[in-house]
Structure 1
Amino acid sequence: MSNTMVIKQPEPVMVLQDSDQWGSRICDCCQDVPECFAFWCCPCFACKITDSYGEGLCLPLLDIFGMVPPITFAMRVSMRHRYGISQGSICGDCIYASFCTSCSWCQMSREMKRRKIQVKLVSTKRT
């Protein structure tokens, strides 16, 4: 008979209740000049923001294949959930993702900077 010990590390949980509102409006793109990059190359900007958020680097490239950009939509919903932003709705997120894609990415970037939370999930595996 062998003794097996299983140890599971606690997973990080981050709850931040800074504000239940977006830090800026959807059309406040000129507040931060580097955000204007989103209008010249939105896919590159979206990939950079998604990577900084802790998700897959090239995930926003999937937005090219649909009428409603699924990744932009999912990122807005995830960001509202993570930061506790009660302002807005899934319907509103869908509309912003569909018709104001560049502005949505700019707003999400400004929100990440305002909250000053850089999330990187790192997994290590011993070989």
Structure 2
Amino acid sequence: MANVIQAQPQTVIVQTSHQSNWSTGLCNVCADISVCCCGLFCMPCLQCQTTSDFGEGFCLPLLDPCILSGSGLSPVSLAMRAAIRERYGIQGSICDDCCVLCSCFYCAWCQMAREVKIRSKHGTTYVAVNQVVL
């Protein structure tokens, strides 16, 4: 017996009209000392915890050295920064993300970790754009 489709997929488009800035500055070490200490003493731990808190694979940042060893640009870090900006409606561009990650990799990850921590503490959620609802 064949399955009968009873409802057609609908497209729900949600756009945010308000774009914000990062909650903390790039070099704002005093905003969360625990994040900065973790980044200073164990950067891979901070990266894995941040990606996990963001809802991505825990070991995703560990792929960076495998992809482009010796290069200053890490694609997983770049993708994470862009995804955080997109989800939380933070102003910026992929070019900005490249410049920040190439100039101050550790500060960029600390800023991303603080942002995810702040947004999850305040219950800031995201709504997928162009989500198909069945």
TM-score (norm 1): 0.75
CA–CA distance in structure 2, aligned partners of residues 61 and 84 of structure 1: 26
Q: State the identity %.
A: 38
| Unaligned ranges ≥5, structure 2 | 127-134
C-alpha distance in structure 1 between counterparts of 2:109 and 2:14, whole Å? 22
1:125 maps to which residue? none
Partner of 2:79: 74
Question: Using the alignment, how far apart are the partners of 2:119 and 2:107 within structure 1?
Answer: 18
**Displacement after TM superposition at 1:40 (Å):** 1.0
Q: Offset at 1:5?
A: 4.0
* Moved >3 Å (runs of 4+): 5-10, 13-19
Q: Cα RMSD over matched residues?
A: 2.9
Using structure 2 for the length normalisation, give the TM-score. Answer: 0.72
On the 8 A contact 1:62/1:70 being kept in 2, the answer is no
Structure 2 matches for 1:42-121, cutoff 5 A? 42-65=43-66, 66=68, 67=71, 68-86=73-91, 88-116=92-120, 117=124
Q: Count residues in correspondence.
A: 117
Q: Counterpart of 1:39? A: 40
Change (3 A) 1:27 1:19: same
- Once the two structures are TM-superposed, the CA of residue 17 in structure 1 deviates from its matched residue by 7.2
Provide, for residues 69-126 of structure 1, a one-character-per-residue CA deviation record: whole Å limited to 9, x for no partner. 111111110111111112x22111012222322211111111122222478xxxxxxx
SS at match of 1:39: helix
Q: Find the aligned partners of 2:107 and 2:48 in 1 and give their Cα distance.
A: 15
By relative contact order (CA 8 Å, sep 6+), the higher-ranking structure is: 2
Bigger fraction of residues in strand: 2
